[in-house]
Structure 1
Protein backbone atom coordinates (compact mmCIF):
# COMPACT_ATOMS: atom_id res chain seq x y z
CA UNK A 1 0.00 0.00 0.00
CA UNK A 2 2.79 2.44 0.90
CA UNK A 3 4.58 1.68 -2.38
CA UNK A 4 1.48 2.45 -4.43
CA UNK A 5 0.94 5.70 -2.56
CA UNK A 6 4.51 6.84 -3.18
CA UNK A 7 4.23 5.89 -6.85
CA UNK A 8 1.05 7.92 -7.25
CA UNK A 9 2.64 10.90 -5.51
CA UNK A 10 5.62 10.68 -7.88
CA UNK A 11 3.29 10.63 -10.89
CA UNK A 12 1.40 13.65 -9.57
CA UNK A 13 4.70 15.47 -9.00
CA UNK A 14 5.83 14.83 -12.59
CA UNK A 15 2.50 16.19 -13.87
CA UNK A 16 2.91 19.24 -11.66
CA UNK A 17 -0.20 18.31 -9.66
CA UNK A 18 0.00 19.14 -5.95
CA UNK A 19 -0.65 16.38 -3.41
CA UNK A 20 -4.34 15.65 -2.85
CA UNK A 21 -4.33 16.93 0.69
CA UNK A 22 -3.31 20.36 -0.59
CA UNK A 23 -5.93 20.60 -3.33
CA UNK A 24 -8.68 23.16 -2.83
CA UNK A 25 -12.13 23.66 -4.26
CA UNK A 26 -11.99 26.55 -6.76
CA UNK A 27 -13.42 29.74 -5.30
CA UNK A 28 -14.98 30.91 -8.54
CA UNK A 29 -17.84 30.09 -10.87
CA UNK A 30 -17.54 29.14 -14.49
CA UNK A 31 -18.69 31.73 -16.99
CA UNK A 32 -22.47 32.04 -17.30
CA UNK A 33 -24.57 34.49 -19.27
CA UNK A 34 -27.63 33.91 -17.09
CA UNK A 35 -25.59 34.56 -13.95
CA UNK A 36 -24.29 37.79 -15.50
CA UNK A 37 -27.84 38.98 -16.25
CA UNK A 38 -28.97 38.34 -12.67
CA UNK A 39 -25.89 40.00 -11.19
CA UNK A 40 -26.18 43.02 -13.47
CA UNK A 41 -29.94 43.60 -13.23
CA UNK A 42 -30.77 42.02 -9.87
CA UNK A 43 -31.90 44.56 -7.26
CA UNK A 44 -33.81 43.85 -4.05
CA UNK A 45 -37.56 44.42 -4.28
CA UNK A 46 -40.67 44.09 -2.13
CA UNK A 47 -43.66 41.82 -2.60
CA UNK A 48 -47.08 42.70 -1.17
CA UNK A 49 -49.70 39.97 -0.56
CA UNK A 50 -52.97 40.98 -2.20
CA UNK A 51 -55.73 38.41 -2.72
CA UNK A 52 -56.52 34.75 -2.16
CA UNK A 53 -58.13 33.36 -5.28
CA UNK A 54 -59.05 30.35 -7.39
CA UNK A 55 -56.87 30.25 -10.48
CA UNK A 56 -57.37 28.25 -13.68
CA UNK A 57 -57.80 24.48 -13.25
CA UNK A 58 -58.96 25.16 -9.70
CA UNK A 59 -55.47 25.92 -8.39
CA UNK A 60 -55.50 27.98 -5.17
CA UNK A 61 -53.07 30.88 -5.04
CA UNK A 62 -52.08 33.91 -3.02
CA UNK A 63 -51.72 36.73 -5.54
CA UNK A 64 -49.30 39.57 -4.87
CA UNK A 65 -49.88 43.19 -5.89
CA UNK A 66 -47.44 43.19 -8.78
CA UNK A 67 -43.76 43.24 -9.68
CA UNK A 68 -41.87 46.45 -8.92
CA UNK A 69 -39.96 48.40 -11.56
CA UNK A 70 -36.64 46.76 -10.66
CA UNK A 71 -38.12 43.25 -10.70
CA UNK A 72 -39.63 43.95 -14.12
CA UNK A 73 -36.27 45.17 -15.42
CA UNK A 74 -34.66 41.88 -14.39
CA UNK A 75 -37.48 39.88 -15.95
CA UNK A 76 -37.14 41.91 -19.14
CA UNK A 77 -33.41 41.23 -19.35
CA UNK A 78 -33.99 37.50 -18.83
CA UNK A 79 -36.72 37.49 -21.48
CA UNK A 80 -34.22 38.87 -24.00
CA UNK A 81 -31.89 35.90 -23.48
CA UNK A 82 -32.14 33.16 -26.08
CA UNK A 83 -31.03 30.63 -23.44
CA UNK A 84 -34.37 30.55 -21.61
CA UNK A 85 -37.63 28.93 -22.62
CA UNK A 86 -40.45 31.31 -23.50
CA UNK A 87 -42.10 32.80 -20.44
CA UNK A 88 -45.13 30.95 -19.11
CA UNK A 89 -48.25 33.06 -18.46
CA UNK A 90 -48.11 31.97 -14.82
CA UNK A 91 -44.91 33.90 -14.07
CA UNK A 92 -45.99 37.17 -15.70
CA UNK A 93 -47.73 38.11 -12.44
CA UNK A 94 -46.51 37.34 -8.90
CA UNK A 95 -48.36 34.56 -7.13
CA UNK A 96 -47.67 31.74 -4.72
CA UNK A 97 -49.39 28.41 -5.43
CA UNK A 98 -50.82 26.99 -2.21
CA UNK A 99 -52.60 23.86 -3.37
CA UNK A 100 -54.30 22.05 -6.21
CA UNK A 101 -57.07 19.57 -6.91
CA UNK A 102 -56.35 15.92 -6.27
CA UNK A 103 -56.08 13.60 -9.27
CA UNK A 104 -59.44 12.76 -10.80
CA UNK A 105 -61.21 15.70 -9.13
CA UNK A 106 -62.98 18.57 -10.88
CA UNK A 107 -64.74 21.64 -9.51
CA UNK A 108 -68.49 21.80 -9.94
CA UNK A 109 -70.20 25.20 -10.19
CA UNK A 110 -71.30 24.69 -6.59
CA UNK A 111 -67.72 23.90 -5.50
CA UNK A 112 -66.46 27.06 -7.18
CA UNK A 113 -69.16 29.18 -5.55
CA UNK A 114 -68.23 27.90 -2.09
CA UNK A 115 -64.49 28.33 -2.73
CA UNK A 116 -64.97 31.88 -3.98
CA UNK A 117 -67.01 32.68 -0.88
CA UNK A 118 -64.20 31.40 1.35
CA UNK A 119 -61.60 33.43 -0.60
CA UNK A 120 -63.67 36.59 -0.42
CA UNK A 121 -64.37 36.24 3.28
CA UNK A 122 -60.62 36.27 3.90
CA UNK A 123 -60.01 39.03 1.35
CA UNK A 124 -62.59 41.24 3.09
CA UNK A 125 -61.14 40.59 6.55
CA UNK A 126 -57.60 41.85 5.82
CA UNK A 127 -55.98 44.55 3.73
CA UNK A 128 -53.68 43.44 0.93
CA UNK A 129 -51.60 45.78 -1.20
CA UNK A 130 -48.83 48.36 -1.04
CA UNK A 131 -48.59 51.69 0.80
CA UNK A 132 -50.26 53.59 -2.05
CA UNK A 133 -53.21 51.20 -1.93
CA UNK A 134 -53.38 51.63 1.84
CA UNK A 135 -53.61 55.42 1.55
CA UNK A 136 -56.25 55.13 -1.18
CA UNK A 137 -58.32 52.77 0.97
CA UNK A 138 -58.16 54.45 4.38
CA UNK A 139 -57.03 58.09 4.08
CA UNK A 140 -60.63 59.32 4.24
CA UNK A 141 -61.70 56.92 6.97
CA UNK A 142 -58.79 55.63 9.09
CA UNK A 143 -61.25 54.18 11.62
CA UNK A 144 -62.22 51.62 8.96
CA UNK A 145 -58.68 50.20 8.74
CA UNK A 146 -58.40 46.44 8.42
CA UNK A 147 -55.50 44.31 9.68
CA UNK A 148 -52.83 44.67 6.98
CA UNK A 149 -50.94 41.71 5.55
CA UNK A 150 -47.19 42.01 6.04
CA UNK A 151 -45.08 42.43 2.93
CA UNK A 152 -41.56 41.07 2.54
CA UNK A 153 -38.40 42.20 0.84
CA UNK A 154 -36.75 39.87 -1.64
CA UNK A 155 -33.05 40.25 -0.89
CA UNK A 156 -31.96 37.20 -2.86
CA UNK A 157 -33.26 34.95 -5.60
CA UNK A 158 -32.58 31.24 -5.97
CA UNK A 159 -31.84 29.36 -9.16
CA UNK A 160 -33.32 25.94 -8.45
CA UNK A 161 -32.93 22.56 -10.06
CA UNK A 162 -36.16 20.96 -8.92
CA UNK A 163 -37.22 17.33 -8.96
CA UNK A 164 -40.94 18.12 -9.04
CA UNK A 165 -42.79 21.26 -10.10
CA UNK A 166 -44.11 22.00 -6.61
CA UNK A 167 -40.51 22.45 -5.41
CA UNK A 168 -41.14 20.01 -2.58
CA UNK A 169 -38.08 18.18 -3.92
CA UNK A 170 -35.10 20.29 -4.96
CA UNK A 171 -31.85 18.73 -6.15
CA UNK A 172 -29.75 21.88 -5.99
CA UNK A 173 -30.05 25.64 -5.73
CA UNK A 174 -27.79 28.63 -6.08
CA UNK A 175 -28.48 31.83 -4.18
CA UNK A 176 -28.11 35.19 -5.90
CA UNK A 177 -27.93 38.07 -3.41
CA UNK A 178 -29.62 41.14 -4.88
CA UNK A 179 -28.05 44.59 -4.83
CA UNK A 180 -29.43 47.36 -2.64
CA UNK A 181 -30.50 50.25 -4.84
CA UNK A 182 -30.02 52.89 -2.13
CA UNK A 183 -26.48 51.76 -1.32
CA UNK A 184 -25.58 51.72 -5.02
CA UNK A 185 -26.98 55.22 -5.49
CA UNK A 186 -25.33 56.95 -2.52
CA UNK A 187 -22.06 57.51 -4.35
CA UNK A 188 -23.84 59.55 -7.01
CA UNK A 189 -26.38 61.46 -4.93
CA UNK A 190 -27.38 62.55 -1.47
CA UNK A 191 -28.97 59.97 0.78
CA UNK A 192 -32.33 61.74 0.59
CA UNK A 193 -32.41 61.77 -3.21
CA UNK A 194 -31.16 58.19 -3.35
CA UNK A 195 -33.96 57.05 -1.06
CA UNK A 196 -36.51 59.03 -3.07
CA UNK A 197 -35.33 57.30 -6.23
CA UNK A 198 -35.44 53.96 -4.41
CA UNK A 199 -39.10 54.54 -3.52
CA UNK A 200 -39.81 55.29 -7.16
CA UNK A 201 -38.07 52.09 -8.25
CA UNK A 202 -39.99 50.15 -5.58
CA UNK A 203 -43.34 51.45 -6.81
CA UNK A 204 -45.60 49.16 -8.80
CA UNK A 205 -46.62 50.45 -12.20
CA UNK A 206 -50.38 51.14 -12.50
CA UNK A 207 -50.53 48.83 -15.53
CA UNK A 208 -48.96 46.06 -13.47
CA UNK A 209 -51.59 46.54 -10.76
CA UNK A 210 -54.35 46.69 -13.37
CA UNK A 211 -53.22 43.36 -14.81
CA UNK A 212 -53.40 41.63 -11.41
CA UNK A 213 -56.77 43.29 -10.76
CA UNK A 214 -58.08 42.03 -14.10
CA UNK A 215 -56.98 38.45 -13.34
CA UNK A 216 -58.55 38.62 -9.88
CA UNK A 217 -61.78 40.26 -11.06
CA UNK A 218 -62.37 37.49 -13.61
CA UNK A 219 -62.61 34.98 -10.76
CA UNK A 220 -65.57 36.83 -9.23
CA UNK A 221 -67.88 36.14 -12.17
CA UNK A 222 -68.52 32.55 -11.12
CA UNK A 223 -70.70 31.53 -14.05
CA UNK A 224 -68.17 32.62 -16.67
CA UNK A 225 -65.12 31.62 -14.66
CA UNK A 226 -66.24 28.05 -14.01
CA UNK A 227 -65.20 27.17 -17.59
CA UNK A 228 -61.58 28.03 -16.68
CA UNK A 229 -61.62 26.78 -13.08
CA UNK A 230 -62.92 23.36 -14.18
CA UNK A 231 -60.40 22.79 -16.97
CA UNK A 232 -58.25 19.65 -17.08
CA UNK A 233 -54.63 19.76 -15.94
CA UNK A 234 -52.58 21.01 -13.02
CA UNK A 235 -53.77 18.28 -10.68
CA UNK A 236 -51.62 16.73 -7.96
CA UNK A 237 -49.60 14.54 -10.34
CA UNK A 238 -48.61 17.55 -12.43
CA UNK A 239 -47.00 19.18 -9.41
CA UNK A 240 -45.58 16.12 -7.66
CA UNK A 241 -44.57 13.70 -10.42
CA UNK A 242 -40.82 13.28 -11.04
CA UNK A 243 -39.76 16.17 -13.24
CA UNK A 244 -36.35 17.82 -13.55
CA UNK A 245 -36.37 21.50 -14.40
CA UNK A 246 -34.87 24.85 -13.49
CA UNK A 247 -36.50 28.05 -12.26
CA UNK A 248 -35.52 31.39 -10.77
CA UNK A 249 -37.63 31.78 -7.63
CA UNK A 250 -38.17 33.85 -4.52
CA UNK A 251 -38.88 31.59 -1.56
CA UNK A 252 -41.98 32.60 0.37
CA UNK A 253 -40.98 31.87 3.95
CA UNK A 254 -42.54 33.01 7.18
CA UNK A 255 -39.30 34.45 8.54
CA UNK A 256 -39.08 36.78 5.53
CA UNK A 257 -42.33 38.46 6.56
CA UNK A 258 -41.51 38.56 10.26
CA UNK A 259 -38.04 40.05 9.70
CA UNK A 260 -39.30 42.82 7.40
CA UNK A 261 -39.80 46.14 9.20
CA UNK A 262 -43.30 47.53 8.80
CA UNK A 263 -43.63 50.99 7.17
CA UNK A 264 -45.59 52.46 10.10
CA UNK A 265 -47.34 51.41 13.31
CA UNK A 266 -50.00 54.13 13.39
CA UNK A 267 -51.96 55.86 10.65
CA UNK A 268 -53.63 59.22 11.26
CA UNK A 269 -53.63 58.51 14.97
CA UNK A 270 -55.06 55.02 14.64
CA UNK A 271 -53.00 51.90 15.50
CA UNK A 272 -52.35 49.41 12.70
CA UNK A 273 -52.35 45.66 13.20
CA UNK A 274 -49.96 43.91 10.81
CA UNK A 275 -50.96 40.30 10.17
CA UNK A 276 -48.58 37.47 9.36
CA UNK A 277 -49.68 36.14 5.93
CA UNK A 278 -48.72 32.61 6.99
CA UNK A 279 -51.43 32.72 9.66
CA UNK A 280 -53.94 33.67 6.98
CA UNK A 281 -52.66 30.95 4.63
CA UNK A 282 -52.93 28.29 7.35
CA UNK A 283 -56.45 29.38 8.33
CA UNK A 284 -57.54 29.52 4.70
CA UNK A 285 -56.20 26.07 3.78
CA UNK A 286 -57.81 24.55 6.88
CA UNK A 287 -61.18 26.07 6.00
CA UNK A 288 -60.96 24.84 2.40
CA UNK A 289 -60.32 21.30 3.66
CA UNK A 290 -63.28 21.53 6.03
CA UNK A 291 -65.57 23.06 3.40
CA UNK A 292 -64.63 20.68 0.56
CA UNK A 293 -63.03 17.61 2.16
CA UNK A 294 -60.78 15.34 0.06
CA UNK A 295 -60.89 17.68 -2.92
CA UNK A 296 -57.60 19.53 -2.45
CA UNK A 297 -54.02 18.81 -1.52
CA UNK A 298 -51.77 21.55 -0.17
CA UNK A 299 -48.04 21.91 -0.63
CA UNK A 300 -45.43 21.81 2.10
CA UNK A 301 -44.96 25.31 3.50
CA UNK A 302 -41.18 25.08 2.98
CA UNK A 303 -41.77 24.68 -0.77
CA UNK A 304 -43.86 27.83 -1.22
CA UNK A 305 -42.33 30.18 -3.77
CA UNK A 306 -42.94 32.81 -6.41
CA UNK A 307 -41.52 31.99 -9.82
CA UNK A 308 -39.80 35.00 -11.28
CA UNK A 309 -38.89 33.09 -14.43
CA UNK A 310 -38.71 29.51 -15.68
CA UNK A 311 -35.26 28.67 -17.04
CA UNK A 312 -36.14 25.35 -18.71
Structure 2
Protein backbone atom coordinates (compact mmCIF):
# COMPACT_ATOMS: atom_id res chain seq x y z
CA UNK A 1 0.00 0.00 0.00
CA UNK A 2 1.70 3.17 -1.18
CA UNK A 3 1.03 6.71 -0.08
CA UNK A 4 2.59 9.64 -1.94
CA UNK A 5 3.67 12.71 -0.01
CA UNK A 6 1.86 15.63 -1.51
CA UNK A 7 2.36 19.04 0.09
CA UNK A 8 2.51 21.12 3.23
CA UNK A 9 -0.40 22.91 4.84
CA UNK A 10 0.11 25.54 7.50
CA UNK A 11 -1.98 24.92 10.56
CA UNK A 12 0.16 23.04 13.03
CA UNK A 13 2.62 22.53 10.14
CA UNK A 14 1.19 19.41 8.60
CA UNK A 15 2.62 17.15 5.93
CA UNK A 16 -0.29 15.89 3.85
CA UNK A 17 -0.89 13.00 1.49
CA UNK A 18 -3.19 12.62 -1.50
CA UNK A 19 -5.76 10.66 0.47
CA UNK A 20 -6.39 7.38 2.29
CA UNK A 21 -6.24 4.32 -0.01
CA UNK A 22 -9.19 1.94 -0.13
CA UNK A 23 -7.76 -0.61 2.33
CA UNK A 24 -7.37 2.01 5.07
CA UNK A 25 -10.81 3.45 4.35
CA UNK A 26 -12.21 -0.08 4.70
CA UNK A 27 -10.45 -0.49 8.06
CA UNK A 28 -11.82 2.83 9.31
CA UNK A 29 -15.34 1.91 8.21
CA UNK A 30 -15.19 -1.52 9.89
CA UNK A 31 -13.95 0.01 13.14
CA UNK A 32 -16.81 2.51 13.14
CA UNK A 33 -19.39 -0.18 12.35
CA UNK A 34 -18.20 -2.89 14.73
CA UNK A 35 -16.64 -1.24 17.79
CA UNK A 36 -19.23 0.11 20.20
CA UNK A 37 -18.53 3.31 22.08
CA UNK A 38 -16.04 4.82 19.65
CA UNK A 39 -15.97 8.61 19.73
CA UNK A 40 -17.16 10.45 16.64
CA UNK A 41 -14.36 10.72 14.10
CA UNK A 42 -12.53 14.02 14.37
CA UNK A 43 -11.65 16.19 11.34
CA UNK A 44 -7.94 15.48 11.81
CA UNK A 45 -8.29 11.81 10.83
CA UNK A 46 -10.61 12.34 7.86
CA UNK A 47 -7.58 12.96 5.67
CA UNK A 48 -4.01 11.62 5.95
CA UNK A 49 -1.51 14.09 7.35
CA UNK A 50 1.43 14.27 9.71
CA UNK A 51 1.80 17.16 12.15
CA UNK A 52 5.48 18.09 12.10
CA UNK A 53 5.34 20.71 14.83
CA UNK A 54 3.33 23.52 16.35
CA UNK A 55 3.62 27.11 17.46
CA UNK A 56 5.31 27.72 20.78
CA UNK A 57 2.99 28.81 23.58
CA UNK A 58 1.96 32.48 23.34
CA UNK A 59 3.17 32.67 19.74
CA UNK A 60 0.87 34.02 17.04
CA UNK A 61 1.71 34.38 13.37
CA UNK A 62 1.48 37.82 11.81
CA UNK A 63 0.15 38.11 8.24
CA UNK A 64 3.72 38.72 7.02
CA UNK A 65 5.01 35.65 8.86
CA UNK A 66 2.22 33.57 7.36
CA UNK A 67 3.21 34.70 3.86
CA UNK A 68 6.82 33.70 4.56
CA UNK A 69 5.68 30.33 5.86
CA UNK A 70 3.39 29.66 2.91
CA UNK A 71 6.25 30.46 0.53
CA UNK A 72 8.46 27.96 2.36
CA UNK A 73 5.69 25.35 2.23
CA UNK A 74 5.32 25.81 -1.52
CA UNK A 75 9.07 25.59 -2.04
CA UNK A 76 9.58 22.48 0.08
CA UNK A 77 6.46 20.61 -1.06
CA UNK A 78 8.24 19.56 -4.25
CA UNK A 79 11.28 18.47 -2.22
CA UNK A 80 9.09 16.33 0.03
CA UNK A 81 7.09 14.88 -2.85
CA UNK A 82 10.25 13.79 -4.68
CA UNK A 83 11.98 12.45 -1.57
CA UNK A 84 10.19 9.14 -1.12
CA UNK A 85 6.95 7.22 -0.81
CA UNK A 86 5.69 5.46 2.30
CA UNK A 87 4.54 1.86 2.10
CA UNK A 88 1.93 1.16 4.75
CA UNK A 89 1.71 -2.51 5.69
CA UNK A 90 0.63 -2.17 9.31
CA UNK A 91 -0.83 0.26 11.82
CA UNK A 92 -0.06 0.83 15.48
CA UNK A 93 -2.59 0.90 18.30
CA UNK A 94 -1.11 3.42 20.74
CA UNK A 95 -1.97 4.20 24.35
CA UNK A 96 -0.51 7.68 24.69
CA UNK A 97 0.20 10.12 27.50
CA UNK A 98 0.21 13.25 25.33
CA UNK A 99 -1.36 14.25 22.02
CA UNK A 100 1.93 14.41 20.10
CA UNK A 101 2.56 10.71 20.95
CA UNK A 102 6.01 11.65 22.26
CA UNK A 103 5.11 9.79 25.47
CA UNK A 104 3.39 6.42 25.16
CA UNK A 105 2.39 3.60 27.50
CA UNK A 106 1.81 0.87 24.91
CA UNK A 107 2.28 0.38 21.16
CA UNK A 108 0.79 -2.70 19.47
CA UNK A 109 1.26 -3.47 15.77
CA UNK A 110 -1.88 -4.24 13.73
CA UNK A 111 -1.25 -5.89 10.31
CA UNK A 112 -3.29 -4.46 7.44
CA UNK A 113 -4.92 -6.60 4.80
CA UNK A 114 -3.33 -6.40 1.33
CA UNK A 115 -5.12 -4.48 -1.39
CA UNK A 116 -7.77 -6.54 -3.17
CA UNK A 117 -7.48 -7.25 -6.88
CA UNK A 118 -8.35 -4.13 -8.83
CA UNK A 119 -8.40 -2.01 -5.69
CA UNK A 120 -5.01 -0.41 -6.25
CA UNK A 121 -2.91 1.61 -3.86
CA UNK A 122 -4.04 5.05 -4.95
CA UNK A 123 -6.78 6.82 -2.98
CA UNK A 124 -10.31 7.05 -4.38
CA UNK A 125 -11.20 10.24 -6.24
CA UNK A 126 -13.35 11.56 -3.37
CA UNK A 127 -10.35 11.29 -1.04
CA UNK A 128 -8.14 13.22 -3.44
CA UNK A 129 -10.85 15.86 -3.77
CA UNK A 130 -11.16 16.16 0.02
CA UNK A 131 -7.42 16.71 0.43
CA UNK A 132 -7.27 19.15 -2.48
CA UNK A 133 -10.12 21.15 -0.93
CA UNK A 134 -8.37 21.33 2.45
CA UNK A 135 -5.05 22.34 0.91
CA UNK A 136 -6.79 25.06 -1.09
CA UNK A 137 -7.86 26.72 2.17
CA UNK A 138 -4.38 28.21 2.58
CA UNK A 139 -4.98 30.34 -0.52
CA UNK A 140 -8.17 31.94 0.83
CA UNK A 141 -7.99 35.68 1.60
CA UNK A 142 -9.09 35.11 5.21
CA UNK A 143 -6.76 32.17 5.88
CA UNK A 144 -4.68 34.20 8.33
CA UNK A 145 -7.63 34.21 10.76
CA UNK A 146 -7.63 30.39 10.78
CA UNK A 147 -3.85 30.06 10.98
CA UNK A 148 -3.52 32.56 13.84
CA UNK A 149 -6.43 31.42 16.01
CA UNK A 150 -5.90 30.35 19.61
CA UNK A 151 -5.29 26.73 20.49
CA UNK A 152 -3.04 23.90 19.33
CA UNK A 153 0.13 25.43 20.74
CA UNK A 154 2.91 23.41 22.37
CA UNK A 155 1.06 22.84 25.66
CA UNK A 156 -1.89 21.29 23.79
CA UNK A 157 0.40 18.58 22.44
CA UNK A 158 2.82 18.19 25.37
CA UNK A 159 0.54 18.35 28.41
CA UNK A 160 -0.67 15.12 30.02
CA UNK A 161 -3.55 13.61 28.05
CA UNK A 162 -4.37 9.90 28.20
CA UNK A 163 -5.90 8.39 25.10
CA UNK A 164 -5.85 5.54 22.59
CA UNK A 165 -5.43 5.99 18.86
CA UNK A 166 -4.74 3.94 15.74
CA UNK A 167 -1.91 5.43 13.71
CA UNK A 168 0.86 4.69 11.26
CA UNK A 169 4.22 5.95 12.46
CA UNK A 170 6.35 7.78 9.93
CA UNK A 171 9.25 5.34 10.03
CA UNK A 172 9.70 5.58 6.30
CA UNK A 173 12.74 6.12 4.11
CA UNK A 174 15.58 8.25 5.44
CA UNK A 175 15.40 10.57 2.43
CA UNK A 176 11.89 11.56 3.46
CA UNK A 177 12.93 12.40 7.03
CA UNK A 178 15.92 14.28 5.59
CA UNK A 179 13.53 16.40 3.52
CA UNK A 180 11.45 17.08 6.64
CA UNK A 181 14.59 18.22 8.48
CA UNK A 182 15.53 20.56 5.62
CA UNK A 183 12.09 22.13 5.85
CA UNK A 184 12.39 22.55 9.61
CA UNK A 185 15.78 24.24 9.26
CA UNK A 186 14.38 26.62 6.65
CA UNK A 187 11.47 27.57 8.92
CA UNK A 188 13.77 28.09 11.90
CA UNK A 189 16.04 30.31 9.80
CA UNK A 190 13.15 32.44 8.52
CA UNK A 191 11.06 32.47 11.72
CA UNK A 192 13.46 31.78 14.61
CA UNK A 193 11.88 30.71 17.89
CA UNK A 194 8.39 30.44 16.40
CA UNK A 195 7.86 26.68 16.06
CA UNK A 196 8.40 23.65 18.27
CA UNK A 197 9.17 20.45 16.35
CA UNK A 198 7.92 17.04 17.40
CA UNK A 199 10.38 14.17 17.83
CA UNK A 200 11.01 12.22 14.62
CA UNK A 201 10.05 8.97 16.38
CA UNK A 202 6.60 10.38 17.20
CA UNK A 203 5.67 11.55 13.69
CA UNK A 204 2.57 9.69 12.53
CA UNK A 205 -0.59 9.61 10.45
CA UNK A 206 -3.75 9.26 12.55
CA UNK A 207 -6.07 6.61 11.14
CA UNK A 208 -8.77 6.70 13.83
CA UNK A 209 -9.01 7.85 17.44
CA UNK A 210 -10.25 5.07 19.74
CA UNK A 211 -10.40 6.79 23.15
CA UNK A 212 -10.10 10.57 23.39
TM-score, normalized by length of structure 2?
0.94
Cα pair 2:115 2:121 within 8 Å, conserved:
no
Number of residue pairs aligned between Structure 1 and Structure 2: 210
**How does 1:50-65 map onto structure 2 within 5 Å?**
50-55=6-11, 59-65=12-18
Query: What residue number does 1:162 align with?
Result: 96
Cα pair 1:46 1:152 within 8 Å, conserved:
yes
Q: Is residue 291 from structure 1 mapped to residue 193 from structure 2 by the alignment?
A: no
The structure with the largest strand share of the pair is 2
Q: Is residue 240 from structure 1 mapped to residue 176 from structure 2 by the alignment?
A: no
Q: Which runs of 5+ in 2 are unaligned?
A: none
Query: What residue number does 2:111 align with?
Result: 177
Deviation at 1:127, TM superposition (A): 7.2
CA distance in 2, matches of 1:236, 1:68: 31
- Write the deviation string for residues 162-185 of structure 1: whole angstroms up to 9, x where unpaired: 011101001111111223346xxx
Cα pair 2:88 2:168 within 8 Å, conserved:
yes
Cα pair 2:79 2:179 within 8 Å, conserved:
no
Q: Is residue 224 from structure 1 mapped to residue 142 from structure 2 by the alignment?
A: yes
4+ runs of 1 displaced by more than 4 Å?
Answer: none
Query: What residue number does 2:4 align with?
Result: 48
Q: Is residue 249 from structure 1 mapped to residue 202 from structure 2 by the alignment?
A: no
The structure with the largest helix share of the pair is 1
Cα pair 1:116 1:220 within 8 Å, conserved:
no
Deviation at 1:83, TM superposition (A): 2.3
- Write the deviation string for residues 24-75 of structure 1: whole angstroms up to 9, x where unpaired: xxxxxxxxxxxxxxxxxxxxx32211001202xxx10100111011111111
Query: What residue number does 2:60 align with?
Result: 106
Q: Is residue 94 from structure 1 mapped to residue 60 from structure 2 by the alignment?
A: no
- Write the deviation string for residues 207-246 of structure 1: whole angstroms up to 9, x where unpaired: 110110111111123x310111011100000000011100
CA distance in 1, matches of 2:106, 2:83: 31
RMSD: 1.5
Structure number with greater CO (CA < 8 Å, separation at least 6) is 2
**How does 1:261-280 map onto structure 2 within 5 Å?**
276-280=175-179
Q: Which has the larger radius of gyration?
A: 1
